[in-house]
Amino acid sequence: MSLLKLFSFHLIFTLSVFTLAESADEYYTRRWLKCIYSSPDLSDMVYIDGHYFNKYLFTQFNSTLGKFVGFSEYGMRVAEYWNNGSFLQAEIAGVDGFCKYNAQIYDSTVREKAVKPKVKLSSVTQAGGRHPAVLMCSAYEFYPQHIKVSWLRDGKLMTSEVTSTMEMANGDWYYQIHSELEYTPKSGEKISCLVEHASFNKPMIYDWDPSLPESERNKIAIGSSGLVLGIILAAAGFIYYKKKSSGRILVPN
């Protein structure tokens, strides 16, 4: 599996119908250029150039089709005109000249500053939940923002009973994301969280250990730490006592 990458460029134009500011109705024309790819060699690059009028897409170029497509009566006329002109050849050349060229710069810049996420799996309790088990996969303090979190059951991708939040900014240039899985546990199965990020050379898999609830594991960890500390202190006290005892001289009465 590979993480889908996208970078885009916006051109926004404003057209005022009336000159009087207090009564002007404004119309917006937007051009949105998108480059979508996932392979390291950029061989699967897709270039999309969308043209919008007041948020409605009317014409779009898609490099997988190699032509413009209209989405309205006006858009179809524009698409037909552009498909028979020099603009089409410029768009086809944009796959290499615009997308691949900028993607190489984008990738190198991002990888130099990428920060790996800290991933934590935990069990959570939901009031009135329909499922006996709810797991949360959380990724913290990562950069850049784009990340993908998925769930696996015995190595197979799970699509149902999964809820995820969008990437949230921490306010310190880092991001966090949380994904929940509601499921009914089965004996012998393996539940894993799959995280894909630009800071990883490959997708990372984190397995859930259902042997004990998290609270019980914490109690055992704290108890074990206390036991080890007690043994160390007892051993130190015994050694100190032996040294003091060996230095004493018994004088008979």
- Model's pTM, two decimal places? 0.52
pLDDT at 215 over 60: no
Nearest alpha carbon to residue 134 among 146, 144, 121: 121
Q: Which domain holds residue 203?
A: 118-207
Fill in the amino acid letter for 11: L
| Residue 141 to residues 156, 199, 207, Cα–Cα distance (Å) | 27, 12, 20
pLDDT in tens, 77-91: 999 999 999 999 999
Question: Residue 27 belongs to a domain with what CATH number?
Answer: 3.10.320.10
Please tell me whether residues 94 and 122 are part of one structural domain.
no
- Proportion of the chain above pLDDT 90, given as a percent: 43
Say if 135 falls within a structural domain: yes
Q: What is the signed CA dihedral for 227, 232, 233, 238, rounded to 10 degrees?
A: 130
The Cα–Cα gap between 137 and 150 comes to: 9
Model confidence at 106, in pLDDT bands (50, 70, 90)?
Answer: confident
> Which is nearest to 137 in space by CA: 206, 204, 184?
206
User: What CATH number is given to the structural domain containing 163?
Assistant: 2.60.40.10
- 8 A C-beta contact, residue 54 and residue 75: no
- Are 20 and 95 contained in the same domain? yes
Identity at 90, one-letter amino acid code: A
Six-digit token string for 46: 């897709």
Asked if residue 213 belongs to a domain, the reply is no
Backbone φ and ψ of 195, nearest 5°: -120, 125
56 HSE (CA, 13 A, CB side)? 10
Amino acid at 240: Y
